[in-house]
Structures are given as C-alpha cells and as structure tokens.
Structure 1
C-alpha cells in the first residue's frame, strides 16, 4: 500500500475498469453493464460515499443546490447497484453516463478502503472479475459533484445537514449493516434539492456533528429527537448572546441617562430573553425564508401531539410541545405514537437544514461555504 492509502492502480479500457493488483493472480476487471461516457474525463469532480437504507438501482437522483436566484444542478446521487445495471430508468441518459464514469473512476481511485479487503479476499479465491456493485454494501451510494460549480473549494461538508435531512448519512458515521436512519419518503424519481449552511453561523461543525450523531447512533426516534434539538439549543444560545448584548447596551445607556422607567423595561426584556419559548421565537426571526420547512414540521408535530392527546399550538410552538412531551411524558407514549414521532424527527432534520441555510445573526468569526457559480455556459459547464 502506498503512503496515500492507495493499494491499487486504476486503468480504463474497452468500457471496463481494471484494478492493478500487482499479484500473481492478475488484475481485477471491474464491469458496469453501462456504456460509459468519458467526455468529462478532464473535468474535476468530487465524489463521496453516503449511506441510505432503501436504495435500489432506480434510486438515481439529480442533485440541485437551492437558495440562489434559481436552483442549480451540481451533480448526482447514484446507488452503487445502479452503476452495474443497464436496466434502470437512467441507464441511457447521456448526462448520467458521464457522471457514472467519473463516479466509478473517483471511487476506485480515492476510496479503496471501502473495497480493498473484498478484492483481496476474492483474489485468494481466484476471482478475476467483479461487477462494481458487488464491491459494496447495498446501502452504499455516491454523491458526485462538479467542482466547476465550486472553484473556491469543496462544498461537501457544508451540505451534510441537508443530506441528512434528505435521508443520506455520511459514510463512516455508521456501519452499513447497522444503519439506523430510516428515510421518510421515496428515494426514486425526485430531484434532491440541497442547501448549504449559511454564513450566519460561527461554528457550523457543532450543528453538523449533532445532526450526524442523531442519524447514526440510535434507532430510537426519542434519542434522535434529543440530538436534533441540541442544534436548536446551539442556535438559541447564539440568539441569546446577541439579544443580551443588545439589551445590555440599552441598560447601560438608560442608567447613564437616568431613564429608570426605560431601565425597568429593559430588565423585563432581559428576563423574557431567558425564556426558551421567547428564544425560539427570536430564532425564527433570524431564519427568514424557512417558512415551508416550518409548516411541514408544524403538521408533523400536530399529528404526533394528536396521537398522544395533546392539543397542538401553531408554528414553532408545536415543536416546543413535542420537546416537553418527550422530556416529561415519554414513558406514557403509546406504541403507535413512535412511528409518528419518527415522522417528526425527519421533518425536524429537514427544518434544521433549512434554518441552518437561512440563519442570520451578528456574530464574530462567521465562516462561509464556498460560493456556487450559477452562470456557466453550456460549453463551460461540465455537468450539462
């Protein structure tokens, strides 16, 4: 194995890839069943493995980046088993076949840790040919992104909350055999619209970590809900710091000017700012443009609360009601409510990806995701 972790050289000829094994058994021929298009050979792509539990060969999806003046296509999500079959709906799509080629190429070159042991095991048994899909678990898929869209750097870390909200778990966060994140909704036919974490968050890695833990560590929707709610707590802490700083300045000015009625009003504002419900309200004011996600979460929360015989409030208050029930009354939750709580969890994850994309607060040390290039011509755009 080389110093960079590469165990096999990779070559492509006659519509097949070969892993050069440097062993007496010979090279391994990796077949796909597709008529691959090498037209994007010279372009730069980034490919990362993901996990999802309901994958099959027709779960190939175009990926768009939402949030700009219009949705911009940035790549594809392709199940491993779709890269060894010509029987699915995208098998003759010229655009897909370009992405299929670069996805297989990048995976075989840069992600050999995913399949090296299986190749060596096959060699010991005299295997000289394998389909690409047979090298991977059925729960593995790949996100391939054209880097012509992101000349300033990779966007993939910034897309993780949105991917989790859409049912995809970063590879390595969970073992494929024990994947616990059950997607809500079909993986077939629909475009995937992802959002980058917005520039208003100074420590995006905190939110990414909490959402990844929620998706990877437990099959219990109660535990998943608690981990996701930590992202809300994190953002409310940011809101609280900003709010208290503003109120503190007003208190100081009121004392200097001898405006004691105003001082009392500001002290009441300070007390209100400490309320979790008030901080939730302030949080939503910092997330302009997330109304659709709020509405879908509100409906899921209302359905859950109905199941546990709690009258639902409107807006984000319904999420707080679910939180209170899970904290104080979870032992009395009927079995039928658990499935509805799972729906809440997945709408919650989508909601979080939406507010992480739109969150705005005056913070020091804010960081920004790489900018996307929207106005490429057909000739310049490697993904057309």
Structure 2
C-alpha cells in the first residue's frame, strides 16, 4: 500500500494491496476522508485498530502453537507458561498496546487533551490505552462526548495520519 498525504485527509490516495484486507483500504481511502461526522470517523479508525489488534492476536497465537508443538511432553510448568501466554494474547489491553507502537506524540496529545477535558485521564496509561479509553467513552457513554465534536475531529485527524503513515505504510 502507498499513500500520498500532505496533511489534508481528503488528498489521501491508496492503492489496493494484498497485504491489507479490502475493508481497511475502503475505510482509509473512501470512508474516513469523506466522513463529516467526527464520531463516525473515530468508529471507522477504530476498526483499523481492531484489524491491527487481530494481527497481533494471530501472531501471538501462532507463537503459542509453535511453542506447544515444539514441546513433545510438556511438564505442568511448561503447560502453565504456554497457557499464560495464550491468556495474555486474548487480553485487549495487551493487543492494543502491541498494535499501537510506536506512540504518536501528536495523537497522544489530542487524546490526552480530550480525556483531560472529560476528567477521564489516568496519567499512568499508555498512548494505546488512552485511545482505548476514548473508544470506551464513545461507545458506552456517548453523552460525555456529545459536545466534544471538535476535539474528536482533531483526534481523528491525528490518528488517521498516524495509522496510515506510521503503522500501515511501514
């Protein structure tokens, strides 16, 4: 996949690739750039994050399978370690933290500003966990965000640029 991007989300041009599912290309190339509702735009962008989290999950599960297959007669301790690795792979916090590395300073500031305005910022959370917190508030407590369209729009601009340029084009 390649993109031409000059900071204006409407100028992004994507070519289809076998490396990404078509729905991700559609989200990034057709839906997000032309969506005027910032809350819906965040929803679309989070679907891309969900895709990235799924890739992380698949990779971790493959590692667990390989480790299990390589252990001909596993001991209780080895089985427990393998099970713990599998359980860790299923945790959303683990997957989102792995998917959103490296941190994007610009997006992190937007998320921090929004969460601070909502009095929902936990200073001990990672960049990825802050994005997840915004997602949870939007999906489960929309009334807090209803008047924050401009802040969500700013976050979406930064998140879109980050996902395309720093995560999916590498």
Question: Structure 2 matches for 1:1-384, cutoff 5 A?
Answer: 158-159=2-3, 162=5, 166-169=8-11, 202-203=19-20, 205-211=22-28, 212-216=30-34, 218-254=35-71, 256-285=72-101, 290-291=102-103, 294-312=104-122, 313-335=125-147, 337-353=148-164, 354-358=166-170
Distance 1:357 1:170, change over 3 A: closer
Q: Give the TM-score taking structure 2 as reference length.
A: 0.84
Structure 1: 5+ residue runs without aligned partners? Answer: 1-156, 172-195, 359-384
Larger radius of gyration: 1
Tell me which protein shows more helix as a share of its residues: 2
Runs of 4+ in 1 over 3 A off after TM superposition: none
Do the aligned partners of 1:166 and 1:350 also contact (CA within 8 Å) in 2?
no
Return the alpha-carbon distance in structure 2 between the equivalents of residues 314 and 238 of structure 1.
20
Distance 1:279 1:220, change over 3 A: same
Return the alpha-carbon distance in structure 2 between the equivalents of residues 221 and 271 of structure 1.
34
Task: Report the alpha carbon displacement of residue 345 of structure 1 after superposing the two structures with TM.
Answer: 0.6
Deviation by residue 1:147-200 (Cα, 9 ceiling, x = unmatched): xxxxxxxxxx6216x46x6322469xxxxxxxxxxxxxxxxxxxxxxxx99x9x
Do the aligned partners of 1:247 and 1:270 also contact (CA within 8 Å) in 2?
yes
Q: Give the TM-score taking structure 1 as reference length.
A: 0.39
Give the secondary-structure state (helix, strand or coil) at the position aligned to 1:168. Answer: helix
Tell me which protein shows more strand as a share of its residues: 1
Task: Report the alpha carbon displacement of residue 263 of structure 1 after superposing the two structures with TM.
Answer: 1.2
Task: Report the alpha carbon displacement of residue 334 of structure 1 after superposing the two structures with TM.
Answer: 4.8
User: What RMSD, in angstroms, separates the aligned Cα atoms of the two structures?
Assistant: 2.5
Structure 2: 5+ residue runs without aligned partners? Answer: none
Give the secondary-structure state (helix, strand or coil) at the position aligned to 2:78. Answer: helix
Do the aligned partners of 1:308 and 1:334 also contact (CA within 8 Å) in 2?
no
